[in-house]
Amino acid sequence: MKKKLVNNPDHVVEEMVEGIVLAAPDKLTKIEGYNVVVRKDSPNEKVALVSGGGSGHEPTHAGFVGEGMLDGAIAGDVFTSPTPDAVFEAIKAVDGGKGVLLVVKNYTGDVMNFEMAAEMAEAEGIEVDHVVVDDDVAVEDSLYTTGRRGVAGTIFVHKIAGAKAEAGADLAEVKEVAEKVIENVKTKGMALYPCRVPSADESTFTLDEDEIELGIGIHGEPGTERTEIMKADDIVDELLGSVIEDIPYQSGDDVALMINGMGGTPLMELFVANRRANQILEEKGINIYKTFVGEYMTSLEMAGLSITLLKLDDEMKELLDAPTEINIMK
Amino acid sequence: MKKKLVNNPDHVVEEMVEGIVLAAPDKLTKIEGYNVVVRKDSPNEKVALVSGGGSGHEPTHAGFVGEGMLDGAIAGDVFTSPTPDAVFEAIKAVDGGKGVLLVVKNYTGDVMNFEMAAEMAEAEGIEVDHVVVDDDVAVEDSLYTTGRRGVAGTIFVHKIAGAKAEAGADLAEVKEVAEKVIENVKTKGMALYPCRVPSADESTFTLDEDEIELGIGIHGEPGTERTEIMKADDIVDELLGSVIEDIPYQSGDDVALMINGMGGTPLMELFVANRRANQILEEKGINIYKTFVGEYMTSLEMAGLSITLLKLDDEMKELLDAPTEINIMK
């Protein structure tokens, strides 16, 4: 995959951020000089929610900036942690005096840079706390992490903590519900084909024409297993099986289900996977409260999918259902 | 692209339709024995809207079945017109006595089979009419059409005619506004990489590693021009230039803009394209009333995009903004 719709790879993130803001000019704005998207009506009289990370995972994170979810999102270079000063700018822009919660995916660089930004903000008297999402059950440690990686489950943290903040909770309460989501959300992904970052000549990894990788990350980090291509149902069995046994999710549980496309996967294939996921969950007596099928946490044009389960209690159900202007989370 | 998340290519459409319905079980249902998705609350006390066509263009059409848009959608085999009997079943299922409007994309097989189904329904006393969408400015006639092809502009017909029907208009009025959208909507697309249908070994067409195709259809039909890969901005200039000069769209016009991904295109690239489209339209004094960026009318995992403009009057603006439960059209 050599051809891309870009101008200059060095400017692709900035041009993308401009394009995001231009798609919703009444709601979003870009902080001058930084690849940071914030709500146009920031700051609000509520706890502010900020997330971010390397680019290439769109719509994550800027696509979740809006009422009921994030107040700001920082876009690092492709697959590269955002700088502490960009995160700091986002915090300053959205803080309305009630404090700011940072939602960080568990990658060493992200955690370090968000923590550094938090210290910078605290030195200016802004109350800041953070949570680290580590929902990927595939690996315990990886190329870029100590502990598990943060992947598609992050979207549920944005939604539920965002709704809690919108409802007027204080920073400790918003953090508490974010931590509850993190404890109850698990994901596993796989790839059929790799992606290529705009500045590189080669794909982030290679797979033979009859080979797939299970347990893959969202930057092409190695997964748990390379195997021959299998039927869609068998792949779903593998992924969802690993997810279910992790907490474990049990008969009688109510869950949110996310079938997440990695960027280059036809929707047709995601719906075929959703069919099988429903069969498995029904067999196990696990009740699907709400289903999300689409692209949420991508890896450029990587072909493949991830499956996420979030075990819900009454509070999380109410917050998941709370209004948001982010269409794909309605 | 040989690897796919499918079980058996012969059952992929049926399994997909099951997966679509399972993702929204409170709102959608499948007609037993047919790959037809209808609203669970059909029939309604209003004109019903039905569309359909070959599969492989998801979320089109089943993804647009819901309050404020379609009442039913027929999924043919991949890139294959649905059979008249499947269309007939859809018509019968959604008709609530106020008549049914069929929205047909201009492909010879689709037009023929939808017209045949309309005759079958009329023979049973159901009032049926149809419109044919032909928004693709790239070619006048093509492999599968007499006249222009129907592509992404079809989504605006679904939205605006759907809102008109929901508002209680009669069949002639719903048809009239659908025709008005068709007169005012134009699209042009391009491909970086082809797609492959699940039952085939080979891609639907081939492109060299430094080659793109402009004016392509949504089934890999030949476009207007093969050229070397260009910068994203130059590609947008080409596509939007052809669209703008077609009606032509003029300074002072209000338009809806759709940047549509073909299935395998990272959102990052669509937003880079949106940035350039905004620049061009601003230079020309054409006012963007509403922007849609994402996957609406895909071609499996084809990489590329299309750009659609719809010239709006007050009635179309109001209907475009009318409530719908289809999230990506809000």
Q: Which domains does chain A have, with CATH numbers?
A: 11-183 (3.40.50.10440), 185-321 (3.30.1180.20)
pLDDT at B142: 73
**In which order are the strands placed within the sheet that holds B211-214?**
B225-228, B211-214, B185-193, B303-311, B254-261, B287-294
B130 catalytic? Reply is no
Give which of B155, B115, B144 is closest to B292, Cα–Cα.
B155
The distance of A257 to chain B (nearest Cα, Å) reads: 9
Q: CA of A207: which chain B residue's CA is closest?
A: B3
Q: Is B325 exposed, middle or buried (0-12, 13-18, 19+ CB in 10 A)?
A: middle
pLDDT higher for B142 or B277? B277
Alpha carbon A274 to chain centroid distance? 19
For residue A7, give the nearest of B1, B63, B232 by CB distance. Answer: B232
The strand pairing partners of A50, in sequence order, are A72, A102
Q: Are strands A100-105 and A48-55 parallel, antiparallel or unpaired?
A: parallel
Residues of chain B contacting A328 with CB distance shorter than 8 Å: 327-328
For residue B278, give the nearest of A2, A5, A22 by CB distance. Answer: A22
Statement: residue A2 has pLDDT above 90: no
Among the residue ranges A320-329, B34-43, B191-200, B286-295, the one predicted with the least confidence is B191-200
Contact B275 A15 (CB under 8 A): yes
- What single-letter amino acid sits at A200? A
Contact B206, B200 (CB under 8 A): no
Interval B71-100: pLDDT, tens:
999 999 999 999 999 999 999 999 999 999
Statement: residue A140 has pLDDT above 60: yes
Contact A196, A178 (CB under 8 A): no
DSSP A150: P
Statement: residue A144 has pLDDT above 80: no
Average pLDDT in chain B = 96
Average confidence (pLDDT) over B13-33: 98
pLDDT at B153: 98
Average pLDDT in chain A = 96
Task: Quote the CA–CA distance of B253 and B256 in Å, as a whole number.
Answer: 10
CA Rg value for chain B: 19
Residues of chain A contacting B193 with CB distance shorter than 8 Å: 1, 3
Statement: residue A83 has pLDDT above 60: yes
ipTM entry: 0.97
Residues 6+ apart with CB under 8 A from A84: A113, A114, A116, A117, A120
Average confidence (pLDDT) over A297-308: 97
pLDDT at A1: 53
Task: Quote the CA–CA distance of A209 and A192 in Å, as a whole number.
Answer: 9
Statement: residue A329 has pLDDT above 60: yes
Torsion of CA A48, A49, A54, A55, to 10 degrees: -90
Residues of chain B contacting A301 with CB distance shorter than 8 Å: 264-266, 303
The distance of B93 to chain A (nearest Cα, Å) reads: 23
Contact A272 B20 (CB under 8 A): no
Interval A155-206: pLDDT, tens:
999 999 999 999 999 999 999 999 999 999 999 999 999 999 998 888 888 8
The distance of A6 to chain B (nearest Cα, Å) reads: 5
Of A22, A77, A268, which to mutate for an interface test with B (greatest number of B Cβ within 10 Å)? A268
Contact A265 B2 (CB under 8 A): no
Statement: residue A220 has pLDDT above 90: no
pLDDT at A146: 80
For residue B269, give the nearest of A2, A6, A295 by CB distance. Answer: A6
Of B214, B229, B267, which to mutate for an interface test with A (greatest number of A Cβ within 10 Å)? B267
The strand pairing partners of B48, in sequence order, are B100
Average confidence (pLDDT) over A55-63: 98
Among the residue ranges B9-23, B38-52, B160-174, B204-218, the one predicted with the least confidence is B204-218
pLDDT higher for A205 or B29? B29
Contact A16 B278 (CB under 8 A): no
Task: Quote the CA–CA distance of B260 and B135 in Å, as a whole number.
Answer: 14
For residue A272, give the nearest of B1, B5, B231 by CB distance. Answer: B5
**In which order are the strands placed within the sheet that holds A72-78?**
A28-30, A36-39, A72-78, A48-55, A100-105, A128-133
Active site residues of A: 57, 219
Contact A3 B229 (CB under 8 A): yes
Contact B271 A23 (CB under 8 A): yes
Catalytic residue among B57, B61, B130, B158: B57
Q: CA of A272: which chain B residue's CA is closest?
A: B16
Residues of chain B contacting A193 with CB distance shorter than 8 Å: 1, 3
B57 catalytic? Reply is yes
Average confidence (pLDDT) over A118-147: 91
Average confidence (pLDDT) over A293-302: 97
The distance of B180 to chain A (nearest Cα, Å) reads: 25
pLDDT at B1: 54
Contact B7 A303 (CB under 8 A): no
Q: CA of A13: which chain B residue's CA is closest?
A: B268
Interval A236-260: pLDDT, tens:
999 999 999 999 999 999 999 999 9
Residues of chain B contacting A275 with CB distance shorter than 8 Å: 15-16, 18-19, 22
Contact B266 A56 (CB under 8 A): yes
Q: CA of A264: which chain B residue's CA is closest?
A: B264
Residues of chain A contacting B271 with CB distance shorter than 8 Å: 15-20, 23, 58
Catalytic residue among B61, B130, B158, B219: B219
Interval B220-249: pLDDT, tens:
777 888 999 999 999 999 999 999 999 999
Average confidence (pLDDT) over A35-52: 97
Statement: residue A129 has pLDDT above 60: yes
Query: By 3-state DSSP, what share of chain B in percent is helix, strand and coil, each rounded to 5?
Result: 35, 25, 40
Average confidence (pLDDT) over A55-67: 98
Contact A19 B56 (CB under 8 A): no
Task: Quote the CA–CA distance of B76 and B53 in Å, as a whole number.
Answer: 6
Ranges assigned E (strand) in chain A = 28-30, 36-39, 48-55, 72-78, 100-105, 128-133, 185-193, 211-214, 225-228, 254-261, 287-294, 303-311
End-to-end alpha carbon distance in chain B: 33
